[in-house]
Amino acid sequence: MGTNGTGPHLALPRIEVTLDDGRVEVAQVLNQDLLRWDITAAKHSWPNFQDVRTWHATFCAWAALRRTGQIPKDWTWEAFSEEHAVQVRALDREGNPVEGEDADVEELEADPTRPVAAPG
Q: Evaluate if pTM is beyond 0.75.
A: no
Whole-angstrom distance, CA of residue 71 vs CA of residue 109: 24
Cα separation, 22 vs 31, in Å, equals 28
Tell me the mean pLDDT in the region 15-28.
96
C-alpha dihedral, 108 to 111 to 115 to 116, nearest 10°: 180
pLDDT per residue as tens digits for the range 41-100: 999 998 888 788 888 999 999 999 999 999 999 999 999 999 999 999 999 888 888 876
What pLDDT does residue 28 have? 93
pLDDT at 119 over 80: no
